[in-house]
């Protein structure tokens, strides 16, 4: 399992490098190297931790985001999110490096780097708490799926999505692109839709979710929504 984590991390870093450096037209882009280093370190730490503490969840998370047993609407949403995520990085590269349209101050880039780290941390904490956090919307009856109410799930009902949204907003700031934020807005809208539709599934198919939703009021941001 550890070898799979190492190989998968290396593959994702290679893909991310191509998505950034090819449209940028150069490898002399310090912000991109910081971003990739963060992806590598944080990805390895979370993957190796899951390999040790929750190999069943890691096996589930390493599956593709498009699966046969997945809801059809979730397949469409995930495909859009993945494509827009890649588009965000391509546009950020074109904007920040090739055409140098955006002028993002260093302190904003540092703020973006902090946001990327926080997004990953929230994502990791949610995974450590929820062994049923599959990458797709489905009820895992074979694993005796139940409602998780502890850790970040005591504050919001979808901390994984909150972490992902923070990541997509922070990444273009770290990379030095204002235009990349436009994609983050669309991705956020898709996550909001996914949250609403996923909750309809959970309330209908997962015992105890109704009571949990009544007790934990907020979906993504405490005090907001």
Residue 38: what pLDDT? 92
31-44 tens-digit pLDDT: 999 999 999 998 88
**Domain residue spans of the chain:** 2-215
Q: How many CA atoms lie within 13 A of 5 on its CB side?
A: 21
Lowest mean pLDDT among 65-79, 137-151, 175-189, 197-211: 65-79
pTM: predicted TM-score of the whole model, two decimal places: 0.94
Q: Say what the pLDDT of residue 142 is.
A: 84
Mean pLDDT over each residue of the chain, to the nearest integer: 92
- The CATH topology of domain 2-215 is 1.20.120
Mean local confidence (pLDDT), 4-24:
91
């Amino acid at each position: 399992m550890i070898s799979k984590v190492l190989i998968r991390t290396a593959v994702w870093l290679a893909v991310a490098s191509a998505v950034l450096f090819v449209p940028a037209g150069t490898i002399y882009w310090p912000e991109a190297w910081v971003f990739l280093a963060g992806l590598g370190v944080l990805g390895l730490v979370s993957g190796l931790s899951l390999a040790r503490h929750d190999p069943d969840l890691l096996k589930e998370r390493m599956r593709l985001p498009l699966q046969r047993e997945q809801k059809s609407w979730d397949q469409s949403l995930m495909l859009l999110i993945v494509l827009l995520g890649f588009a965000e990085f391509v546009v950020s590269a074109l904007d920040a490096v090739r055409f140098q349209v955006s002028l993002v101050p260093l302190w904003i880039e540092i703020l973006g780097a902090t946001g990327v780290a926080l997004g990953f941390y929230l994502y990791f904490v949610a995974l450590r708490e929820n062994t049923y956090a599959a990458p797709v919307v489905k009820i895992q009856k074979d694993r005796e799926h139940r409602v998780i109410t502890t850790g970040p799930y005591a504050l919001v009902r979808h901390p994984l999505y909150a972490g992902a949204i923070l990541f997509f907003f922070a990444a273009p700031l770290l990379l030095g692109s204002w235009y990349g934020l436009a994609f983050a807005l669309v991705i956020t809208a898709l996550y909001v839709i996914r949250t609403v539709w996923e909750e309809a599934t959970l309330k209908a198919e997962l015992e105890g979710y109704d009571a949990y939703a009544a007790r934990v009021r907020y979906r993504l941001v405490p005090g907001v929504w």
